């Protein structure tokens, strides 16, 4: 049975790159009726952020990425939080030391910092020189008795190569001399990300490890750990990076596109999932819209790309707009109304008026909170004309007479409805002899302050007679 895992760190709130990783791990498992496991990797205590763990549970639930095993639901291979597994890591680290695959390192952070600085000044990449690699047992014991702080480092072979086959990138071969003696257990007793991953993946029977392609060249370190501990090596699936338009990697440290911010702004989970599935993967045909269930059926590891995937908010908006348009009117109104209520006081507006306003913009918004941006003219006492609008209204000598004529037609309307509003416009057309853009655009700009938007008759009707007359006196 295929078993995959999503192993986030609670060091910040999930961004779209994290969610894409969770989605791919989920799809790989579920495509073959496998198990999807959640593991919390909280070994970096210095960067732990309060509330981030609960946020992870919330996000996965929101996007219907239901896991089969995890911290808050249990399973046969728990505990699923790394800080609760410290004794396990210590046991395996000591085993590696005993069998000669790891060693105690007593180098102080001050010494290491100086060495890094010297390497940087010399234009070189710093690699730990193995200072403590060959200490005698007597020297080690003396330092331990003196209560000197130490870490446990992996002892890398200094000759030969280590290779593995990645299911996306193919065969990867690395010279062992390029592999640094990485730290396995830190001085505070916590394991490093690299070491805990190997132990947990092996003990949790993870068959397919998904991770970003930035780990391609360091995976041989993991392979050597598996082999030294005589643990079964899993399949590796390295995923293309999700990067911003400038090529920078999406990152929690840079506060990039928080998933919950997208949800709060009215991006739909199904639209986000659909879009993220296509960041680094493509179906065999040209279809673009998929439900999560369809993605499970179609997802094929062989169709994962090797090139970086570019995150484009405009493309996500395009996907989201499609899903908004797919809603029936009742679903749409329930979805978008809270965003209008948050932005404006609608307590004195009738339900019919509010629903008419919202439905008029159904084809015009790409995310929920955008409704507040596009409807502001209906809640402002006066319209503020931008320079381009003023320039347009002064661009043709016919425009002032058109607006004056229309103002009189509006004043004569006794029953305020769309039919009479349309008749008033038709009277301007016949009375002055104008049509097309020259007829409609001056009225739109004068009463709404916008060059484009929803149907003009809807704009006039929703603004109301009094406000339209007031704005025609610009």
- Residues carrying an active site annotation: 252
Cβ-contact 237, 28 below 8 angstroms:
yes
DSSP 8-state symbol, 190: P
Helices (H), 250-289: 259-264, 269-277
Cβ-contact 217, 99 below 8 angstroms:
no
Do strands 309-310 and 242-243 pair parallel, antiparallel, or not at all (unpaired)? Answer: parallel
Q: Which residues contact 470 (CB under 8 A, 6 or more apart)?
A: 382
Q: Which residues contact 403 (CB under 8 A, 6 or more apart)?
A: 442, 443, 446, 472
Q: What 3-state DSSP class applies to 414?
A: coil
Q: What angle do CA 77, 80, 84 make, to 5 degrees?
A: 110
Distance CA 329, CA 327 (A): 6
Distance CA 377, CA 468 (A): 11
> How would you list the strands of the sheet with 183-185, edge to edge?
102-105, 151-154, 183-185
Q: Quick one: which of 1, 65, 6, 61 has its CA closest to 33?
A: 1
Task: Write out the two tokens for 273.
Answer: 């999932």
Q: Quick one: which of 374, 353, 53, 24 has its CA closest to 209?
A: 24
Task: Write out the two tokens for 321.
Answer: 């707009």
Distance CA 433, CA 415 (A): 25
Neighbours of 266 (CB within 10 A): 20
Distance CA 258, CA 14 (A): 6
Task: Write out the two tokens for 386.
Answer: 């931008």
Distance CA 191, CA 87 (A): 10
């Amino acid at each position: 049975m295929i078993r995959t895992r999503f192993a986030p760190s609670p060091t910040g709130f999930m961004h779209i790159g994290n969610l894409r990783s969770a989605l791919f791990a989920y799809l790989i498992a579920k495509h073959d009726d496998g198990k999807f496991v959640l593991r919390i990797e909280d070994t970096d205590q210095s960067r732990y952020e309060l509330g981030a763990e609960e946020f992870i549970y919330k996000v996965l639930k929101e996007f219907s990425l239901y896991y089969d095993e995890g911290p808050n639901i249990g399973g046969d291979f728990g505990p699923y939080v790394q800080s609760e597994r410290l004794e396990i890591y210590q046991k395996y680290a000591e085993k590696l030391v005993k069998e000669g695959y790891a060693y105690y390192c007593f180098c102080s952070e001050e010494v290491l910092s100086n060495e890094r600085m010297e390497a940087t000044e010399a234009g070189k990449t710093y690699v730990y020189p193995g200072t403590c690699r060959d200490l005698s047992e007597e020297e080690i014991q003396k330092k331990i008795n003196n209560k000197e702080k130490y870490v446990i480092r992996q002892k890398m072979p200094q000759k030969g190569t280590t290779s593995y086959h990645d299911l996306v990138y193919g065969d990867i071969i690395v010279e062992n001399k390029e592999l640094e003696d990485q730290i396995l257990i830190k001085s505070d007793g916590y394991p490093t990300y690299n070491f805990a991953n190997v132990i947990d993946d092996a003990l949790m029977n993870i068959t397919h490890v998904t991770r970003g392609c930035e780990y391609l060249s360091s995976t041989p370190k993991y392979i050597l750990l598996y082999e030294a501990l005589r643990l079964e090596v899993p399949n590796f699936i390295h995923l293309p990076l999700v990067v911003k338009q400038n090529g920078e990697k999406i990152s929690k440290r840079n506060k990039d596109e928080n998933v919950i911010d997208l949800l709060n702004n009215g991006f739909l989970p199904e639209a986000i999932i659909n879009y993220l599935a296509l960041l680094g993967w493509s179906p065999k045909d040209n279809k673009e819209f998929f439900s999560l269930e369809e993605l499970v059926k179609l997802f094929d590891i062989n169709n994962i790309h090797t090139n970086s995937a570019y995150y484009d908010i405009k493309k996500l908006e395009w996907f989201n707009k499609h899903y908004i348009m797919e809603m029936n009117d009742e679903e749409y109104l329930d979805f978008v109304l809270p965003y209008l209520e948050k932005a404006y006081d609608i307590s004195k507006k009738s339900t019919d008026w509010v629903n008419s306003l919202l439905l008029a913009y159904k084809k015009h918004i790409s995310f929920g909170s955008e409704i507040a941006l596009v409807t502001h003219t209906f809640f402002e006492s006066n319209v503020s004309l931008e320079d381009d609008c003023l320039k347009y209204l002064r661009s043709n000598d016919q425009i002032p007479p058109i607006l004056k004529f229309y103002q009189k037609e509006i004043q004569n309307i006794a029953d305020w409805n769309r039919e009479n509003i349309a008749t008033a416009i038709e009277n301007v057309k016949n009375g002055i002899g104008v049509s097309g853009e020259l007829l409609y655009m001056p009225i739109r700009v004068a009463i709404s302050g916008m060059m484009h938007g929803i149907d003009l008759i809807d704009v006039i009707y929703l603004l109301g007679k009094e406000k339209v007359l007031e704005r025609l006196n610009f």
